[in-house]
Amino acid sequence: MAAGQQEKREMENRKEVGNKLQQLYFKYSYCIFKIFVQDEIGDKHTGTGFHIGNGLIVTARHAVEKMKIISIEAEGPTAKIEIKKIHLPNNIESDVAVLETNFTPERELSLTTYHLGDKKVPAKECKASYLPIQECWDDWVGSELVLSKCIILGYPPIPTSRDVVLVAVSADVSAIVDSYLRPHVHYILSNVPRGGFSGAPVISEYDFVLGIVTTALTSNDEPVQLGFCGAVSVEPLFSLLMEKKLRPPGVSDEFWGNGE
């Protein structure tokens, strides 16, 4: 293949991947929440959560445990989100949490219309109401997704910004590791870790939640930004959901039955 043709094909491939990631951002942005909390000494923080259906919002345990939750807010128009119950794993080292809420996206989506080109499209036809989770246990995870693309959607604070806005970051899956400090498989991502992404979903280019951003893997007392961005696998999330009998939509009978 001539050099010019190869370069053109590489540019087209990059454009196709970019378009795919943009589509995932548009499709799922309504399912991402900013979680405003206050810690025990009065300092305020922002974390991220995402909707997996039936009013269940997933986040990182450390983002809500021992915190006063001030509010949960979505990108689109929505009624006030109220928490019915906070579910935490029995294993205190498992850094996931599920918030059982009154969120009903179907009703909210019916109130919104998007202008796509010269057409008006109801939000319920182009926006997802929940994020699908990959049906996977840790011992199924191999290297198949290394160097695949993903996006992270969350709410890290942006200096000088007047508002807390949804931030989208594209990344590669750089490695898959077992940490001796934390349980479960972790995906190592190529983006710079930042506070506020805690609890954010890692959405694979293949259109499912691959993991949940929970930590920055650092040495000694290095700044977070010098570490690796780590996302825990979905196994602790499924374990918690099954333990509490909170089955989200889209999970197959076979997978759910095998895990109970």
Give, for all 260 residues of the chain, the pLDDT tens digit: 455 555 555 555 655 666 899 999 999 999 999 999 999 999 999 999 999 999 999 999 999 999 999 999 987 666 789 999 999 999 999 999 999 999 988 777 777 787 777 788 877 778 899 999 999 999 999 999 999 999 999 999 999 999 999 999 999 999 999 988 788 999 999 998 888 899 999 999 999 999 999 987 777 776 666 678 999 999 999 999 999 999 999 999 999 987 66
**Exposure b/e, 192-223, CB count within 10 A at least 16 = b:** bbbebbbbbbbbbbeebbbbbbbbbbeeeeee
**All structural domains of the chain:** 28-126 (2.40.10.10), 138-240 (2.40.10.10)
Q: Which alpha helices (DSSP H) does 72-216 contain, by range?
A: 105-109, 123-126
Q: Rounded to whole angstroms, how far apart are CA atoms 167 and 13?
A: 24
State residue 253's pLDDT score: 93
Predicted TM-score (pTM) of the model is: 0.88
Would you say 135 and 251 are in contact if contact means Cβ atoms under 8 Å apart? yes
Q: Rounded to whole angstroms, how far apart are CA atoms 79 and 52?
A: 18
State residue 51's pLDDT score: 97
Beta-carbon contacts of 243 under 8 Å, excluding residues fewer than 6 positions away, are 89, 90
State residue 88's pLDDT score: 97
